[in-house]
Each structure stands twice: as structure tokens, then as C-alpha cells.
Structure 1
């Protein structure tokens, strides 16, 4: 490999990037926009669920129960409905996701027996939100009725005892606050790096064919390896800069804890960049249209990274055939390493398996990319 030819090819590609407003926009603006949109827009936390309350009793105890729903932080009582028809109309209009109906004999039943029931109804068109909201409501009602029952027992002279109970002391590691942002943001970094890297490099060789400069390139003494290395070097530098921006934003803007090794993070990010750049370059060689190459590169990077990498959906919850399919998704290994480095403080030895898989993937993609380019016009 001749260093002078390699530098000349890299300089030529750098000029092409500088003269192409689309490439500059993808390289500079897209990371900022996507980090903001995905970082703030994607969340698995469900808080302040709009709840309509139908209080048929209007007593001190019923009002206290309503306040406990609001104070929990999971619900916001946006509307007090007076009838079942109004309750159904509010749910149909989307004014509330769930309703809580406090019966007219709530206080009387509670003061006589120490127990009472509250009916909750949830809109299950969004099953995930409905399931989580039902769990929240059950927790609020269970805790409230337990305290009301203890008051009733004390008021009637009964001793409140716990016999043969087992207290569960749960501890959460790595994401102590159960904040979904800590789970999602590292995956956002992988999505942005994959999209930008593949989109930029999918234009490299296809641009030569469309502009009619491929004959000049073929007539030069540069080898296929020098062509690929020279064309990918500027994008590799841009990709690392974008990755650094995303990682810094994850830590200092979104507050994701970073507990691992910078060396591990840099090494895995460099490997991931080689994979996505190689995919984009391979598509650019095989498809001689910039539009076609960019679209195919988008399909090969965006869809697997968002759907099959564990970025948003846990791989363990997928059907067995889909779990097997994720083994060939390169982004899966990068997302796994990112979360381990960020949240667990893992070192390179701790992620040796995913790192080796990513390295093997990079070697295969780079090898195919070098073999794909031929210095001929047919």
C-alpha cells in the first residue's frame, strides 16, 4: 500500500464531502437532531397517566384516595366525571386512559368491615400502557386500603399484627432508579452511528459512476485496497467525531452514568464504525446509483439496529427464531457492549464475546468490500 496514493485518495474524498451539502448536512446536523429527537422522544417510562375519577361518595376518605392517586406520581386526575356515560365519553375522546370509580358506600363499607373495593377501567388499545397503569393502580389501592384497614382495626380496638410474614428487600443494580433513559440512550448512539456511517459511505463509489469520473479513477495506479481505505478514512474520522459527540451528550446532557473504560469504548466504537462503513461502501460498489445504494444501506443498517439489536425490545422476550436471527445483527453486539460499559463498568475482558463477534463481522465485511471493487468498467 502506497502512502502517497492513499493520502491523495483521502484528500480527494475530503474535498468531495466539503463540496457536497447533503453529505455535510448528514455528517454535522443529523447527529444533533437525532440525539435530541430519540433521546427525548423514546421512553419506556409511563408517568402522569391521565385518569378520570368518578367519586360517587364525595367523602373525606374518597377524596383522600383521589389525592393518593395523584401524589403517587403515576397518575394525574385530569377530570372528575359524574356518570358512566361521561366516563365512556372521556375514554373514547382520549381525555383519559383509565378511570377509577369510588362507590357510594365506600366509607360505610370501610368503617364497618375494614375492607372496600374500587373499580378501575383502562383503555387497552395500547396494551403496554394499560398493563403498566393497572399495576400502578393496584399498588395505590392496595397500599391505601391497607392503611385504611389498619385505622379501622385500631379504631375498633383490634391489634394490628403480622404473623408469619416475609418481607422482601429488593435491590436494583446498575440502574438504581429504573430509569428507561439509561437503557435507551446507549442504543441511540448505536442507531445514529450506524445510520450516518452507512449513509455517507454508500455515496462514495456510486458518485464516481454518476459523475463519469470512474474512468479516471480506474486509470490511476491505485489498488482496490487503497481506493477503499482512502475513501473510507475521512468518513471514519467523521464517524468517530459523531460518536464522540453522541457519547458526550449521553453522559453530560442526558445524565447517563459512565462507569467503564474509555479504551474499551473507543475500540468497540472503531470496530462498529468499520462494519457500518464497510456495508455502505459495499453497497456503493455493487449498486451504481447513489439513491439506490443509500436506500439499501438504510435498510441494512436502520432496521436491524432499531428492531433486532435490543435497542428498544429485549431480545430475551422475542420468539426463539427471531432470537437466533439477532445473532447475525452486528448492532446487537455493539449495543450490548455500550450498556455494559456505561452502566456496569465492564472492561474489555468482560465483553470479550460480543467484542470478538464484532471483530469477526468487521473482518468479513472489509474483506468483501475489498473483493467487490474491480478496476474495470464492465
Structure 2
């Protein structure tokens, strides 16, 4: 099964669920329970499979419009916009009706459209389907009122209740919070608020400083970074956090470069030299994942990732996925900047348990917020 086969099969399955709703009485919520995840899944498919080099400025509408520059039959673009409109109405306009017949017709047309998209073979559509790497991540925010800064920490929950790994931290102007919050709340893979966490975890967030809010992300790692990255202010790290800027964290560097690499190899089957690939990875990580390409350690890590990709046969590179985040202890190879490995089609990035924050109960002394960025 290819990635194109999988999305057509998923839409057919959604169509069957809608048809079964017609066997008895139904509510608007029943139709939404099918359309909401389907719309999100199609948008993700367009972004990560059909157009893996799309930019973070692209949305569902502009991704569909990209088909106008392909050989896709012109009737298919309006059909894809119809499922986008249905998805938006279902999710954002709860007072508008969702007639089951209209939903069935729209999804039937979507099957036709995506069947033709599959035939195009663009991007990574024709590559074997691999289960996508999804993460359950915490995203928490703290304000620094004196400097007008908000810090956003992406954390990987641990199997040990006292610590979670902080795998990335971005810094933004404190006035950006409202816009970022709206983007996050509009995304179906993000849930915000106290009810998403155990009480001791929520209390520990407050203990770390001027805590603002936190939420849970269930989905692709790169998609989350792409949501937050437009709000990252690189100058904050340089001015206020010498030695603790995002590009000083090897884990932040590694994750940004790996998701950039996946975008690149999924977008083309043409051979690239190691140097060409390293340059393309740096450029993509800079433009889409807010990782400055001119930094020495960024260049060094990009070269290391390019060398790993170079060891993979050309016809297998579009299958690569990552990052897989894995705890590592002990020294790295002396000539390597980051822990990097390949497990099947998954690119594994090792991180040290030195990057952690406390989730201790308030009766115990919390770690200082400055330790969020230790590598």
C-alpha cells in the first residue's frame, strides 16, 4: 500500500461511516465526528505527502490551490475545496446544519478527487505507506514580564514521574501570545488547559515561574514546531539568553534539522550530493522551523544528518521519518555532534536526561527555570 492508497482508503472508510448514519436518526454531532478528523487528515496528507516542501504560511486553502500548477483535472480542485468548506463548517460554525446527504455527496467527490491525486505521483504519494510517527507532547508557556518575553517549551513526558524531557524551547515577544493561542486552539490535535494534566504536573508548571498556560499535542512533531516557529524571535536568545538560545541546544538543532530533512527527501527522488543535501536541510530548517542556518553547530549537525541519509539507498529515502526521540546516556562518538541513528525507516535522535524540568509536588524544591535549556 502506498501513501496515496492509504488516504483514498481512509476517505472511503469515512464515506461508509456516513452512509451507516443514514440507517437511523442522527445528530449534527454524528456527522461532525466523521468530518472533523477526516478534514484534518486530508490537510495533513496534502502538507506532508503531496506537497512536503509547502511552507508554514500555507493553509488548507492554499495547499489545494497548489494543484492548479499540476496536471490534475480542473474539476478536482473545487471538489477538494468542498471538503475543506464542509470541514470548516463542521468545526467552526456549530450553529449551521450539516445535512447528511450533502456530507455523503461531498465525501464521494473527495474520493474521486484523491484517486486522481494519487495517480499524479507527486511528492511522496507513491512511496510505501509507513505508520506516521506521532507524539504525545506537552507545550507550556512562561512569561518574563521584565523583558517582555514568553518562553514556549515542548516537552516529552517521561516514564519517571519526577522529570520530563524538554526537547525544544522557543522565545517570542510577549505580545504574540494571543495570536499563537488562537492558532493552537483552532488545531484539532491540540488541547489546552489544566484538565489535560495531572494536578502535580500543573502545580509544577506554576512553581517554575510566571506560568502562563499549557496544553497537550497529539500528532506529528514537525507540525507542532511549524505552528509555533512563526512566533519565534531569534534576537531574544542572542540578547537575553547568552549560551541558552535555541541554537545552543543540540536537541533543538537535531529535531529542526531532521524534520527539515524529511520534508526534502519526500519532495524529490532526484539524487543530491551530501553537501547539496546539507545545504538544503539548513535552508529548510531556517525558513520553516526557525533554526538559524548560519550557526556553526547547525551546519555541523546538518552535515551529520546528510551523511546518514547518504547511507540510505536513493529509492528508499522518501520512506524516512523522524525524529524518534530516545534517551541516551554515556559519551557520543568523539567525531559526532549529536546522537543519530537509523531504526528501519525512522531517524533516531538521542537526547540527554540533563534536559529536564521538575514536575515535583510543591512540597519539594523545584528546579530553576534556567535549567530548562541545559544540554
TM range (shorter): under 0.3
* TM-score of the superposed pair, with normalisation by structure 1: 0.27
- Please identify which structure carries the higher helix content: 1
* TM-score of the superposed pair, with normalisation by structure 2: 0.27
Q: Which has the higher contact order (CA 8 A, sep 6+)?
A: 1
